[in-house]
């Protein structure tokens, strides 16, 4: 029996889906599972790099498909890249999957479970749908389809059919799991496995010892951070509105790290509004991630309320690991907002409430003891509820149950994988 992962990005890529898939794949390999990953040859934000077609890393066999590389800049180019990955992965599975394999199918590209499901059904293999983003729901909520559109209905029906195949559906949030059961997916087939962060890889860094904070000229400021994808699912108008209101207060700086669909628009608006307190930096390499996340005193996380059942902002777990509080911009009854309130590791602001965000920022700036206490509770929450080791242990048990095979909870080779 082999465990086969399918996702468009994998190690050494550092995008959100790649990091969690890589963690699980390496964790399973360390515990004695035979693991293969089918992925692309791309790094998500580096079109100049082409990864090897085949290699073995930390005990995991990696097979990379040579797909088109139009990139993420346009919907048409991205759509063609998706289509090619679907086609090539289908034929790869038909050629390489065996009847006793367990295939973990992720959601990048969208609807991969539909085409993979056909191949896996023909090969009589077990499919685990690892649902990190719900499609077509996300596209519908963002206005790319209307709910009654014929294509949307057909896509939804095909996706739901793939979720009913032999195996399991793994969701990243309770909200998503509840939605799927309302869609008719049997409750016993839907399991919640929260995302996580590696507490050894990302650790709290004291501001006085943070080289990046110093290099970026932030030593004497109260720093409000945003780190990760500037995606379609996130709100930036509230942040820009707060930055405008705080423009004259040079004790507060906004540190915006990352890239994505809205990045150009956000940087342009910051220039037009002369927001000199807003600093933009690229994503940092993994060995500087603790410093990058630790450069902020508080982090912003946002999610459009209509997407609560579709997406989880994975950046939240890195913030917990860095020991920093979160100000969540979105629905008060949303997943992140509920966690923050329960754990006391941050604050909530409604979407569009720039004045409320200003008050939240000033409150944490003016109460450093409270701010640090929220950060300490964030780190404690990661250790207790969202650790990498606990998540991988859960995955091992589920895979072993599906395979009806025993496994050792002790890693086969210590230090084999990061």
Q: For position 366, which CATH number holds?
A: 3.40.50.2000
Identify whether residues 48 and 175 lie together within a single domain: yes
What's the pLDDT at 145? 79
What's the pLDDT at 411? 62
Rg (C-alpha) for the chain, rounded Å, is 21
Q: Using an 8 Å Cβ cutoff, are 131 and 137 in contact?
A: no
What's the pLDDT at 409? 60
Identify whether residues 119 and 166 lie together within a single domain: yes
Identify whether residues 295 and 345 lie together within a single domain: yes
Q: Is residue 409 part of a domain?
A: no
Side-chain half-sphere exposure of 336, counting CA atoms within 13 A? 32
* Domain count for the chain: 2
DSSP 46: B
Identify whether residues 188 and 290 lie together within a single domain: no
Q: Using an 8 Å Cβ cutoff, are 22 and 316 in contact?
A: no
Integer Cα distance of 156 and 135 in angstroms: 8
Which stretches of the chain drop beneath a pLDDT of 50? 413-416
Q: Is residue 201 part of a domain?
A: no
Q: Is residue 417 part of a domain?
A: no
Q: Is residue 183 part of a domain?
A: yes
Integer Cα distance of 38 and 96 in angstroms: 10
Identify whether residues 145 and 255 lie together within a single domain: no
What's the pLDDT at 416? 47
Q: Using an 8 Å Cβ cutoff, are 223 and 256 in contact?
A: no
Identify whether residues 96 and 176 lie together within a single domain: yes
Q: Is residue 269 part of a domain?
A: yes
Identify whether residues 359 and 245 lie together within a single domain: yes
Identify whether residues 338 and 191 lie together within a single domain: no
Identify whether residues 310 and 282 lie together within a single domain: yes
Identify whether residues 164 and 286 lie together within a single domain: no
Q: Is residue 414 part of a domain?
A: no
Query: Cβ contacts of residue 179 below 8 Å, gap of 6+?
Result: 134, 137, 309
- Residue 37's domain comprises 2-196+387-403
What's the pLDDT at 406? 59
Identify whether residues 216 and 362 lie together within a single domain: yes
Q: Is residue 412 part of a domain?
A: no
Identify whether residues 267 and 153 lie together within a single domain: no
DSSP string, 169-223: EEESSHHHHHHHHHTT--GGGEEE----B-TTTS----GGG-HHHHHTT-TTSEE
What's the pLDDT at 407? 54
What's the pLDDT at 69? 84
Q: Is residue 106 part of a domain?
A: yes
Burial class (CB in 10 A: 0-12, 13-18, 19+), 70: middle
Residue 377 main-chain phi, psi, to 5 deg: -70, -30
Integer Cα distance of 265 and 184 in angstroms: 39
Integer Cα distance of 25 and 247 in angstroms: 46
């Amino acid at each position: 029996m082999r465990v086969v992962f399918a996702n468009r990005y994998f190690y050494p890529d550092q995008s959100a889906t790649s990091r969690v898939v890589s963690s699980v794949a390496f964790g399973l390999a360390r515990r004695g599972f035979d693991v293969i990953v089918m992925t692309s040859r791309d790094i998500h934000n580096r079109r100049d790099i082409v990864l090897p077609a085949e290699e073995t890393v930390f005990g995991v066999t990696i097979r990379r498909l040579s797909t088109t590389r139009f990139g993420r800049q346009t919907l048409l180019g991205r759509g063609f890249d998706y289509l090619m990955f679907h086609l090539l992965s289908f034929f790869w599975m038909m050629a390489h999957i065996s009847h006793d394999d367990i295939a973990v199918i992720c959601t990048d590209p969208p609807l991969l479970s539909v085409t993979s499901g056909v191949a896996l059904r023909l090969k009589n293999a077990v499919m685990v749908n690892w649902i990190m983003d719900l499609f077509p729901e996300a596209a519908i909520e963002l206005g790319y389809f209307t709910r009654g559109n014929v294509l949307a209905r057909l896509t939804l029906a095909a996706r739901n059919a793939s979720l009913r195949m032999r195996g399991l559906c793994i969701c990243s949030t309770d909200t998503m799991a509840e939605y799927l059961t309302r869609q008719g997916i049997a409750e016993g087939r839907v399991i919640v496995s929260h995302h996580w962060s590696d507490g050894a890889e990302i650790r709290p860094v004291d501001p006085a010892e943070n080289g990046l904070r110093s290099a970026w000229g932030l030593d004497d400021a109260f720093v409000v951070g945003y780190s990760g994808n500037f995606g379609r699912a996130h709100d930036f108008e509230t942040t820009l509105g707060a930055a405008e209101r705080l423009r004259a207060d040079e004790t507060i700086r906004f540190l915006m790290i990352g890239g994505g669909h809205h990045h150009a628009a956000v940087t342009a608006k910051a220039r037009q509004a002369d927001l000199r307190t807003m600093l933009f930096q690229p994503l940092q390499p993994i060995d500087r991630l603790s410093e990058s996340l630790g450069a902020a005193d508080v982090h912003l996380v946002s999610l459009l309320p209509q997407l609560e059942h579709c997406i989880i902002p994975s950046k939240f777990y890195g913030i917990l690991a860095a020991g920093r509080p979160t100000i969540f911009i979105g629905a008060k009854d949303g997943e992140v907002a509920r966690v923050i309130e329960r754990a006391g590791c941050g604050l909530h602001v409604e979407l569009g409430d720039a004045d409320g965000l200003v008050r939240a920022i000033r409150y944490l700036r003016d109460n450093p003891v409270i701010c640090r206490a929220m950060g300490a509770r964030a780190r404690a929450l990661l250790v207790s509820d969202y650790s990498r080791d606990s998540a991988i242990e859960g995955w091992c048990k589920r895979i072993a149950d599906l395979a009806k095979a025993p496994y050792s909870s002790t890693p086969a080779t210590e230090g084999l994988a990061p």
